[in-house]
């Protein structure tokens, strides 16, 4: 990955892609006040240098899947290789090495209890160097990476030019077939892939790909996320927070944290703790202030565990498991 410094136009492009990862360059140029050619050139530069990419993501909940966050405790000599093995799977996302290099966290989706058990009992690395595994069902999300305020630079009137149609509430269940899975796979590799490329991947015509992509987006099944390291935006201290919160105040605490600009993810979970969050701060002093001045004011939090991110192995994804 090249050492690329982002200027104001680059940061505006990141924000625009966070709002709509497949927005036409012409519309992004209008929002940024630059030409379409400038936007296209900047995007190709950042994409080819490995600074960012747009990733197609699947909301498995709309298809009957459940989401899990998994924590593995490992011996220090094994954590890196095990994290790499987890990241290589097509059913994992947000794989992080935490806590001095002895813990791994990752997310996955399963369709049934049987799939969950197969994942935990058979598919996770089986080695004496894994000394503990716990799985926590994600019950309800209050903040997601796509809503994180860290990349925001555009004023509201400019950002409004980019917002896609919101997903439709309710509606009929969506069935997905082999061609849809091929579509998901192609978009996971490149969320801005041209319709002609997606047609080759699925066997559909360009017009069918266009209609199906829009249908899946409107149904809330398909989304797009900017995959960029927070440090590129000036956030050098990442951490995962696991909290025990008084049940009667759980929703209020989750909603309050979701409004914090430092937070990129908050969800209710099962397990010994009932709230998990991802926090992005400028530096360790900023993280300390956040914990002691922002989180500390939420009196319903009875216990807090903070695990700094040592290495990010994988971010956006995943595909649906087969």
The per-residue pLDDT for range 17-59, each reduced to its tens digit, is 999 999 999 999 999 999 999 999 999 999 999 999 999 999 9
pLDDT average per 10 residues of sequence, the chain (322 residues): 85 98 98 98 96 94 89 89 88 90 90 68 68 90 93 96 86 84 94 97 97 95 94 96 97 97 96 96 97 96 96 81 56
What's the pLDDT at 287? 97
Angle at which helix 206-218 crosses helix 178-189, to 10 degrees, equals 80
What's the pLDDT at 97? 95
Q: Compute the residue count for the chain.
A: 322
What's the pLDDT at 298? 97
What's the pLDDT at 168? 81
Q: Strand, helix or coil at 254?
A: helix
- Two structure tokens written together for 92: 């994992």
Q: What is the dihedral of CA 234, 236, 241, 246, to 10 degrees?
A: -40
Alpha-carbon gap, residue 52 to 64, rounded angstroms = 30
Angstrom CA distances, 200 to 83, 205, 222, 242, 246, stand at 33, 8, 19, 43, 52
Q: What is the reported pTM?
A: 0.91
- The pLDDT tens digits of the residues spanning 198-248 come to 999 999 999 999 999 999 999 999 999 999 999 999 999 999 999 999 999
What's the pLDDT at 6? 95
What's the pLDDT at 85? 87
Which bin fits 144, alpha (ψ -120 to 50), beta or left (φ > 0)?
beta
What's the pLDDT at 107? 92
Q: Strand, helix or coil at 97?
A: strand
How is the chain split into domains, by residue range? Answer: 6-50
User: Residues 292, 223: contact at Cβ < 8 Å?
Assistant: no
**Residue 120 carries which DSSP code?**
I
Topology classification of domain 6-50: Arc Repressor Mutant, subunit A (1.10.10)
């Amino acid at each position: 990955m090249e050492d690329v410094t982002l200027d104001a136009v680059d940061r505006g492009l990141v924000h625009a892609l966070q709002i709509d990862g497949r927005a036409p360059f012409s519309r992004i140029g209008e929002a940024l006040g630059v030409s379409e050619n400038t936007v296209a050139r900047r995007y190709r530069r950042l994409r080819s240098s490995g600074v960012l990419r747009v990733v197609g993501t699947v909301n498995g909940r709309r298809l009957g899947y459940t989401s899990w966050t998994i924590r593995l405790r490992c011996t220090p000599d094994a954590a890196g290789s095990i994290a790499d093995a987890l990241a290589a799977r097509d059913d994992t996302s947000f794989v992080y090495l935490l806590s001095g290099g002895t813990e791994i966290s990752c997310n996955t989706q399963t369709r049934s209890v049987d799939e969950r058990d197969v994942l935990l009992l058979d598919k996770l690395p089986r080695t004496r160097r894994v000394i503990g595994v716990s799985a926590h069902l994600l019950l309800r999300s209050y903040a997601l990476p796509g809503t994180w305020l860290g990349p925001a630079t555009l004023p509201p009137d400019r950002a409004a030019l980019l917002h896609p149609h919101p997903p439709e509430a309710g509606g009929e269940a969506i069935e997905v077939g082999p061609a849809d899975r091929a579509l998901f796979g192609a978009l996971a590799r490149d969320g801005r892939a041209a319709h002609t490329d997606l047609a080759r991947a699925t066997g559909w015509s360009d017009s069918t790909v266009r209609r199906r992509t829009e249908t899946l987006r409107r149904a809330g099944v398909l989304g797009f996320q900017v995959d960029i390291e927070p440090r590129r935006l000036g956030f050098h201290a990442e951490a995962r927070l696991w909290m025990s919160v008084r049940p009667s105040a759980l929703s209020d605490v989750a909603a309050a944290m979701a409004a914090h600009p430092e937070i990129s993810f908050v969800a209710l979970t099962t397990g010994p703790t009932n709230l998990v969050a991802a926090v992005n701060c400028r530096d360790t002093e900023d993280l300390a202030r956040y914990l002691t001045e922002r989180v500390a004011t939420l009196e319903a939090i009875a216990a807090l565990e903070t695990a700094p991110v040592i290495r990010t192995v994988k971010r956006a994804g995943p595909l649906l498991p087969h």
